[in-house]
Structure 1
Amino acid sequence: MTITFSIEQLAEVAQQILDQNPNKVILFNGDMGVGKTTLIKQLCKTLGVNDATSSPTFSLVNEYQTDNNQTVYHFDFYRLNKETEALDMGVDDYLYSGNWCFIEWSEKIANLIPQQHTEIIIELLPNGERLLELK
């Protein structure tokens, strides 16, 4: 699935992504500042997370509960230096939990990603819109 969208269409885009029944481990790839965290926040809201969401840049992972008791984990591995740091925090337990796992900077843990995952690639277009590819 490929979508071109503006930030104002983010809620519709999040619903379209979820309507595709993606794997619960989703990798978000794109340049810094392209809107990965913003999209993840909207996906959390669409799933029914009512708490405030933020980037886990310093904590590496944030945990949220949806209004129907699903758990959502949001990872940001930008500050990770090596995969063993992710293993030390128990990343395997998260990734194989069956819960939603939204992962930014997944290339930092490339060897730890489950085979069954979905990838979202976001690109900023010259006109300010985003191009999203769901694989």
Structure 2
Amino acid sequence: MRTIHITAEDELPQVAEAVIAQTGRRTVVALRGEMGAGKTTLIREIAALLGVTDTVTSPTFAIVNQYRGAGNRRIFHFDFYRIDDPREAFDLGYEEYFYSGDLCLVEWPEKIEQLLPENVVTVRIAVDSDTARTFEIE
């Protein structure tokens, strides 16, 4: 596990680099943290480092957004906050995404815990202050 403490948002690229480095062959990244912790902001930074030029926003109502990175790499961004029952993820076809080999960045993985693959990269975000965060990446 790697722990990174930042005191300002402009330090986020080092966190994004660490998350990307931790993935290796794994393709599902579960981001855990309270509302407003910065999950979407970190995903925006990860996407930028991977060459995404589209606007990255949380897919709160759509549940999943797709972006294209460098080399036409597909990146899927999930927000399961509004899921009330994990069975709703089946309707979405989550398996096709999670087992596609494409990068899947997942906000609110707690809502679908039992559906996550075993080899997930987990990022825990702790809010230390208005601008400071601690990230645990495993």
Give the TM-score band, short-chain normalised: over 0.9
Aligned ranges for residues 1-135 of structure 1 at < 5 Å? 1-5=2-6, 6-22=8-24, 23-126=26-129, 128-135=131-138
Q: Give the CA deviation at 1:21.
A: 3.7
TM-score (norm 2): 0.93
Q: Give the CA deviation at 1:127.
A: 6.4
Counterparts of 2:15 and 2:79, CA distance in 1: 21
Task: Work out whether residues 22 and 121 of structure 2, in 8 Å CA contact, stay in contact via their aligned partners in 1.
Answer: no
Task: Work out whether residues 3 and 133 of structure 1, in 8 Å CA contact, stay in contact via their aligned partners in 2.
Answer: yes
User: Aligned letter for 1:108?
Assistant: K
**How big is each residue's C-alpha offset from its partner over 1:15-42, in whole Å with a ceiling of 9 and x where there is no partner?**
2322334421000001000100000010
Task: Work out whether residues 70 and 99 of structure 1, in 8 Å CA contact, stay in contact via their aligned partners in 2.
Answer: yes
Task: Work out whether residues 50 and 67 of structure 1, in 8 Å CA contact, stay in contact via their aligned partners in 2.
Answer: no
Percent of aligned positions with the same letter in both sequences?
A: 39
Q: Give the CA deviation at 1:81.
A: 0.8
Counterparts of 2:113 and 2:55, CA distance in 1: 29
TM-score (norm 1): 0.95
Counterparts of 1:83 and 1:59, CA distance in 2: 16
Counterparts of 1:86 and 1:18, CA distance in 2: 25
Report the number of matched residues: 135
